[in-house]
Structure 1
Amino acid sequence: MTMSQNLISLLKNCPTQYTKKFYDILFSENPELLSVFNKTNQENGMQSEALAEFIRLWANTIENYSEKFMNRMKEVAEKHVSLQIKAEDYPKVGKALIKAIGSVYNLTEEETNLLLESYKKLSGLFIEIESNRYNQIQESGGWEDYKEFIIAEKTLANIQGDTISLTLKTVNGEKVLPHKPEQYITMQVNGVQRHFTITDSGEDYYKLLIKVKEVTDNNSFSVTQYLRDAEMNTIVGLRPPCGIPFKLDNVIPLVLISGGSGESNSIAVMQAIKESIKNGQSDKLPSSIHIIHSTQGENSDTHQLDLPVEQLRDLGLKVSYDKYYTQDSYSKNNTIHIGRINEKSLNSILDNHNNNYEICASLSFSANLQQILKGWGVAEDNIHIEGFGPSQEVFDSYLIGQDNPGSSVCSFAHE
């Protein structure tokens, strides 16, 4: 028995009213799950839109999952593992989802059963992927739940003081699970969970570059503001690194484009390239790297990219480096451009368009760059997008299955 075309069509065009209703039902019946979600993303509708987009993707491949959809599932599963989502949570989600759809669409008994079977297939695959990852983490020296780390080093990274560089060490000098480029850790502070990209790690520490979000509402809590104001040796909880790692296996020139705190992603990739060169594993590294970063101006510039650029140059790699200051009126440095990145300026600094592109920035910034690259005819396999917050349909469908926008497009999403 296959799902009716009417129901598939409904899911392919899933409106956010379905997913908003889903979250209302899920939280009313399972209030303990509220702690898994980012409150801001729920309030501004980003998470409802993200889930609606995932359902649309699912519907388009529901009878026979495509490779792209499977890639997206693996990215979502990484987010689930980082939040310690368990197999017993899935029936709660399925029940709420069917209730939500049934509340706005008159499902027949047959359609309800078909939808339930399709969800069981989806959730069963998630559970299998995640179970394998939990086992892999344990076998690699990882840990369950949260391990205590202390704030060992902390510095303000820019003049305006809204970005901090943080080093977190294990309390007893225990070894940490090594990270791979573009992976993140999940941190818990006062019961609130947040994900942060790892820029570097050693035997007993992780390094992070964090943009501080100020809150003035006494009823709100900002993890990043807490970290900025916390004293040295303050204890925080960390889960092991998760996320689909960037693969250093292509000799095509690499272009790393970041906006604001997205530079963490570029730093992590450059650190990995540096270690590969030092370890004699440079045969499959990109033949050249072009670093492009956009920030408001000199006061917001952390200059955290400067050192790894010089280190890679010292190791013999061809590295180009351009910055864009969007709010300054001038700069004495001829590698700093005034204004926003646009097609004309981007074209003027690139030798050609035949590159691998790694983009980490806001949704609107990334969407604009995606349109430029698409217009140039850049192959979809050569574009990878990281973003802040849940994925939305601002990204063209031709990239689905490749971007891993900072948090998943599933029901368990958390920035």
Structure 2
Amino acid sequence: MTQTATLSGNDIAIAKSLVPALKEHGKEITTIFYATLFRDYPELLNIFNHNNQRAGLQQEALATAVYEAVANLDHLENILPVVKHIAHKHCSLGVQPEHYPIVGEYLTMAVQQVLGEQATPEILSIWKRAYNVIADAFIQLEQEIYRQGAEQPGGWSGFKSFVVKRKEQEGEGLIALYLEPEDGETLPAYEPGQYVCVRAQIDKFYHLRQYSLTEAPGKKHFRIGVKREGQEGSHAGKVSSYLHEQASQGDVLELSCPGGVFTLDHTLPRPVVLLGAGIGITPLLSMLYTLRERQPERTAVLGYAVRNGEYHAFADEIAHLVRDNEQVSATIFYEQPAVEDEQVGRFDRAGRIDAAWLQEQVSLDSEVYLCGPHGFMQGILTTLLKQGLKPEQLHYEIFGPALAFAVPQE
């Protein structure tokens, strides 16, 4: 990924001199970029999560991606993990090479508007070439992801029609959808922790959202967990509201091929720790099923935090998985247990996952997989790094724009 053939050493130095300004004004640049892009291409708005747009998370994530890419222009391999994460997201949304010139044009206009006189003709010329180098790196990686997805047994490109076979309530505000391919073909294998993108036509536009696969691969169906996002009215999640309120047995939805880089390495013998909060249980559940099938001898610890019994998703399945494998242990945390929760006894500890429990349960040779809200992730990662784990032992998935999440430093 060192595609700097169109840039001289001096060009790269000039481009990298923009990094402080891009970092300082990045969110302003990307806010203007999205506003003008969506004004002229309103159909593109529906690719993105509206709540993330309103909260500024998408703008912040793009700003981070821009200045990190420019800062590593001569060594893009340094940010390869981040590039892979974004590329998989792009492929699930159907991003194509022809989209990159459009993005480049509007991003350049935003840079020019915000930086003003600092964006001289020479700098803008180098900026455009630097953007093309970065775009080419993404395009090449994404075309390879598309190729692998289409050529694998049972794979496809673009979106494929699936029939809703079952719809089940799994705790307050969460449903599970069982989806089978309309053509009856065999499904492709996927890695535990990966997701599919659902494309639904709502209000004349297609809206796209990613949802984790919640079982081990090898079945005739995909199962996804869908949390109802946002509040009522205009701030409600478009796709999640549609799936909760309107999707029913027999309906047809379009899905992308499975993708994502937050995956369990089931070749390692080291202990595995799965830490989730709320909807974050969904990819971890796929990992638990896969451990049972492929590595029943591997020690695994699950820590799962929810508000109370009403929000305890997949409770029976988790209990069954733990009972079936003596190498797996689970601690269920209820932050605000109700009186009936105390009586039923389906949780182990009141409160949140804390440093004392992590110290007790997470050995220094563990591989740790985390998924949940930003605050949960921030606290867990900071604590584990302080307790002596290395960054390479910590694997995590953020629901939402990952680059808007500040990763703690060791």
1:214/1:221 CA distance change after superposition, 3 Å: closer
Instruction: Work out the CA distance in 2 between the residues paired with 1:181 and 1:11.
Output: 36
Provide the rounded CA distance (Å) in 2 between the counterparts of 1:212 and 1:222. Answer: 9
Kindly indicate whether the alpha-carbon contact (under 8 Å) linking 1:257 and 1:358 is maintained by their aligned counterparts in 2: yes
Offset, 1:397:
6.0
Identify the residue that residue 249 of structure 1 maps to in structure 2. 267
Distance in 2, Cα, partners of 1:392 & 1:82 = 17
Q: Which residue of 1 aligns with 2:161?
A: 148
Matches within 5 A, 1:265-344: 265-277=283-295, 287-302=298-313, 304=314, 306-307=316-317, 310-311=320-321, 314-315=324-325, 318-328=327-337, 331=342, 333=345, 336-344=348-356
Q: What is the distance in 2 between the residues matched to 1:296 and 1:208? A: 21
Do structure 1's residue 73 and structure 2's residue 83 form an aligned pair?
A: yes
Which amino acid is the alignment partner of residue 358 of structure 2?
A: L
Superposition deviation, residue 224 in structure 1: 2.2
Contact 1:14 1:56 survives alignment (8 Å): no
CA–CA distance in 2 between the matches of 1:371 and 1:198?
A: 27
Tell me, in whole angstroms, the C-alpha distance in 1 between the residues paired with 2:346 and 2:289.
26
Q: Give the corresponding residue for 2:5.
A: none
TM-score (norm 1): 0.86
> What SS is found at the alignment partner of 1:148?
strand
How many pairs were matched up?
A: 386
Aligned residue number for residue 120 of structure 1? 132
Greater shift in the superposed pair: 165-174 or 376-385: 165-174
C-alpha distance in 1, partners of 2:307/2:221?
30
Deviation at 1:14, TM superposition (A): 4.4
Query: How does 1:380-395 map onto structure 2 within 5 Å?
Result: 380-395=391-406
Q: What is the CA distance between 1:312 and its match in structure 2?
A: 6.1
Map 1:332-371 → 2, pairs under 5 A: 333=345, 336-347=348-359, 349-350=360-361, 352-371=363-382
Supply the AA of the counterpart residue of 1:323.
Answer: I
Larger CA deviation: 137-146 vs 121-130:
137-146
Distance in 2 (alpha carbons) for counterparts of 1:11 and 1:227: 39
CA distance in 1, matches of 2:218, 2:330: 26
Which of the residues 184, 187, 200 maps onto 1:173?
184
**Sequence identity (%):** 25
Larger RCO, structures 1/2 (Cα 8 Å, 6+ apart): 1
- Output the amino acid matched with 1:386: E
| Structure 1 residue 221, shift from structure 2 partner | 6.1
* Residues 1:199 and 2:214 aligned together: yes
Counterpart secondary structure, 1:125:
helix
Q: Per-residue displacement from partner, 1:299-323 (whole Å, max 9, x unpaired)?
A: 2112x255356446535x5111101
Q: Distance in 2 between matches of 1:297 and 1:70?
A: 39
Which amino acid is the alignment partner of residue 195 of structure 1?
Q
Q: Which has the higher helix share?
A: 2
What is aligned with 1:82?
92
Report runs of 4+ in structure 1 exceeding 4 Å deviation.
Answer: 218-221
Q: Distance in 2 between matches of 1:381 and 1:300?
A: 32
TM-score, with normalisation over the residues of structure 2?
A: 0.87
- 1:209 is aligned to 225
Q: Please name the residue that 1:226 is paired with.
A: 242
In structure 1, distance between residues paired with 2:346 and 2:188: 41
Q: Distance in 2 between matches of 1:219 and 1:321?
A: 35
Mapping 1:86-101, distance limit 5 Å: 86-101=96-111
Match of 1:47 in 2: 58
CA RMSD of aligned residues (A): 2.4
C-alpha distance in structure 2 between counterparts of 1:149 and 1:300, whole Å: 28
- 2:161 is matched by which residue type in structure 1? E
- Give 2:63's aligned amino acid: A
Match of 1:109 among 112, 121, 126: 121
Structure 1 residues 393, 34: CA separation in 2 closer, same or farther (over 3 Å shift)? closer
Would you say the 8 A contact 2:369–2:396 is kept in 1? yes
Residue from 129, 138, 155 that aligns with 2:150: 138
Gaps of 5+ in 2: 1-9
Inter-partner Cα distance in structure 1 for 2:55 and 2:150: 36
Distance in 1, matches of 2:363 and 2:212, equals 29
> Which whole-Å deviations, capped at 9, do the CAs of 1:314-347 have from their partners, x for residues lacking one?
35x5111101101116635496110122223433
What secondary structure, in the 3-state scheme, does the structure 1 residue paired with 2:213 have?
strand
Q: How far does residue 60 in structure 1 lie from its aligned partner after superposition?
A: 2.9
| Contact in 2 for aligned 1:329/1:338 (Cα 8 Å) | no
Consecutive unaligned residues of structure 1, counting only runs of 5 or more, are 400-415
